[in-house]
């Protein structure tokens, strides 16, 4: 996994009635959750995201179906496939992300440590590269 991203595995509890996964702040998620949103109804060809965050912690979990996430920290790129309700990716660095290849039944859940702030977004990939280069020179 590239620097700034790691897998998180959640504990599923279940019996003949079905399964349950409980997620708690600062226990299962390494930050206090301040915002929750989910993406659904996206076509296979749709590309969502296409941005980085300057200062944001986020966990993405595919609670239904599957999708791919392109992750780019300015030095390394990796595409991960999310298709499990008990695994998510924790994105904690200055990481470009693109969500794509959504299955018809995909529901992608995001748990975030901050309220929405348009100033936190970087929509220009070249700006991400310039900012990561300037950090390397310090």
Catalytic residue annotation: 51
Asked if 8 and 59 touch (Cβ cutoff 8 Å), the reply is yes
Report the C-alpha gap between 69 and 79 in whole angstroms: 5
Closest-CA residue to 81 (of 4, 21, 1, 20): 1
Query: What count of residues does the chain have?
Result: 138
Residues 6+ apart with CB under 8 A from 7: 1, 87, 88, 89, 90
Report the C-alpha gap between 52 and 130 in whole angstroms: 13
């Amino acid at each position: 996994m590239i620097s700034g991203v790691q897998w998180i595995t959640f504990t599923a509890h279940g019996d003949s009635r079905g399964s349950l996964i409980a997620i708690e702040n600062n226990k299962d998620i390494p930050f206090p959750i301040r915002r929750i949103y989910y993406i659904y109804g996206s076509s296979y060809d749709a590309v969502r995201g296409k941005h980085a965050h300057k200062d944001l912690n986020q966990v993405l979990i595919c609670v239904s179906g599957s999708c791919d996430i392109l992750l780019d920290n300015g030095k390394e790129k990796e595409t991960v496939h999310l298709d499990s309700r008990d695994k998510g990716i924790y994105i904690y660095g200055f990481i470009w992300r693109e969500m794509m290849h959504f299955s018809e039944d995909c529901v992608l859940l995001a748990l975030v440590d901050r309220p929405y702030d348009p100033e936190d977004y970087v929509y220009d990939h070249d700006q991400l590269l310039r900012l990561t280069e300037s950090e390397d020179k310090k």
